[in-house]
């Protein structure tokens, strides 16, 4: 499946697996992505692998289930099961805002162009899609939007904040304007 991360197509090095019949075989795979259930049942064995660990949260699972273990995860994949199910937005905000998760946050499943900007603003930084056409659509959409009116979790400066900075910089660089604001009657 194509993967877009930080606005660029990248190779997906994660192995999505819930097969723990042979833990040693998993060690040879490299980074593994597991479900919450597998994590809870085989936590110690997964940690012993020594590979980067990723977690897959289903739409009905809250990040609170693994809050104490978030520091173990390099990536968390949140599933958009269908376009009308927005629980992954809430999961993303909780992970970034309440729990301070700094790793990769990946959207998987029904990743649609119309919802992509909202996903970016909630803290998603990678998108796993089913087709090359979807991947190209995401690349095009990410390139279209660089400025925002609303503040969000990504920390990007908003258009009003950028305007204020520009005005302030302009006031401070024009000859003869230093201190003129102090003379204004309010």
Give the tens place of pLDDT for each residue, 9-34: 999 999 888 766 666 677 778 899 99
CA distance 180 to 171: 9
Instruction: Give me the chain's average pLDDT, please.
Output: 82
CA distance 63 to 100: 11
CA distance 33 to 77: 8
Q: What is the pLDDT of residue 28?
A: 74
Judge whether 87 and 110 are in contact, CB under 8 Å.
Answer: no
Q: What is the pLDDT of residue 176?
A: 54
Judge whether 106 and 63 are in contact, CB under 8 Å.
Answer: no
Q: What is the pLDDT of residue 37?
A: 92
Q: What is the pLDDT of residue 186?
A: 38
Q: What is the pLDDT of residue 183?
A: 45
Q: How far is CA 168 from the centre of its chain?
A: 32
Q: At residue 93, what are phi and psi to the nearest 5 degrees?
A: -65, -40
Q: What is the DSSP letter of 179?
A: T
The residues of the chain scoring below 50 in pLDDT are: 179-180, 182-186
Q: What is the pLDDT of residue 184?
A: 43
What does DSSP say about strands 8-10 and 3-5: parallel, antiparallel, or unpaired? Answer: antiparallel
- Quick one: CATH architecture of 3-145? Alpha-Beta Barrel (3.20)
């Amino acid at each position: 499946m194509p993967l877009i991360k930080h606005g660029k197509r990248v190779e997906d090095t994660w192995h999505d697996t819930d097969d723990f019949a042979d833990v040693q075989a998993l060690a040879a795979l490299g980074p593994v992505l597991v479900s919450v259930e597998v994590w809870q049942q085989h936590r110690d064995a997964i940690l012993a692998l020594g590979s980067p660990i990723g977690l897959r949260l289903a739409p009905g699972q809250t990040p609170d289930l693994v809050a104490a273990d978030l520091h173990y995860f390099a990536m968390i994949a949140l599933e958009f099961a269908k376009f009308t199910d927005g629980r992954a937005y809430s999961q993303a905000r909780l992970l970034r805002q309440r729990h301070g998760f700094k790793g990769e946050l990946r959207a998987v499943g029904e990743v649609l162009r119309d919802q992509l900007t909202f996903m970016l603003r909630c803290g998603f930084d990678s998108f796993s899609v089913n087709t090359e056409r979807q991947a190209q659509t995401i690349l095009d959409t990410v390139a279209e939007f660089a400025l925002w009116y609303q503040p969000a979790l990504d920390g990007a400066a908003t258009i009003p904040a950028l305007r204020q900075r520009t005005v302030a910089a302009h006031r401070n660089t024009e000859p003869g304007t230093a201190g003129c604001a102090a003379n204004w009657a309010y």
